Structures are given as C-alpha cells and as structure tokens.
C-alpha cells in the first residue's frame, strides 16, 4: 500500500501502558505491546466531506435512538462519512488494512 494514498492532516496515535504500584508506594509504568488480537480495539471518528468532527457529532447526537426515521438518518450519516480502517504498521513501516 502506498503511503501517499493515505495522507491525513490529523493522525491519532494511541499508546497503551500498564501502571502498577509498588509495595513502597512507587510506581512502575510499562508500555504494553499489542499484537495478534482476536478481537480488535476499535476507535470511531465519523466525519463527512471534511466536516469538522464537533459539527458532525453535534448533528449526530441531536438525533434520537428511539425514533426510527432518526435512527435511519444516523446510519446514513455514518455510511456517508466514508470511514476506512488503516493503521501504521511499525514493522513494515507502511500503512496497512490487514485485519480490518
């Protein structure tokens, strides 16, 4: 996959850490390596046509989950956002959608 096809103006990086308290009151913080998950960790940030995320969520959250027509509209908003699943593969130093 060519990196230039997946250029973004904003990139989210998430690091997971394990925080343990020691007996003497100190703490040990270790980065957690995540690989080969059978169930993915999912993050969703739906945006439509370069729309500001705040604007999108404001519109989205004003719709009811209990009115059928509004549930349909919410589903349509998500579909139109053209979300895709890609991540930076540190091992191969490239964007990947493997496992999405």
Q: Are the beta carbons of 36 and 52 closer than 8 angstroms? A: no
Q: How far apart are CA 46 and CA 43, in angstroms?
A: 10
Q: How far apart are CA 51 and CA 85, in angstroms?
A: 18
Locate the domains of the chain by residue range.
Answer: 1-37+88-100, 45-82
- Quick one: average pLDDT of 77-91? 74
Residue-wise pLDDT for 12-22, tens only, equals 677 888 988 88
Mean pLDDT of the chain: 76
Helix (H, G, I), strand (E, B) or coil at 75: helix
pLDDT > 60? residue 5: no
DSSP3 helix / strand / coil % (the chain, rounded to 5): 25, 15, 60
């Amino acid at each position: 996959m060519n990196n230039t096809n997946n250029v973004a103006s904003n990139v989210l990086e998430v690091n997971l850490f394990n925080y343990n308290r020691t007996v003497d009151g100190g703490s040990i913080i270790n980065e957690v390596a995540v690989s080969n998950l059978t169930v993915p960790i999912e993050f969703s940030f739906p945006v439509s046509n370069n729309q500001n995320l705040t604007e999108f969520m404001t519109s989205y959250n004003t719709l009811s989950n209990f009115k059928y027509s509004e549930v349909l509209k919410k589903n349509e908003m998500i579909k139109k956002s053209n979300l895709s699943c890609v991540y930076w593969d540190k091992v191969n130093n490239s964007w990947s959608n493997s496992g999405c």
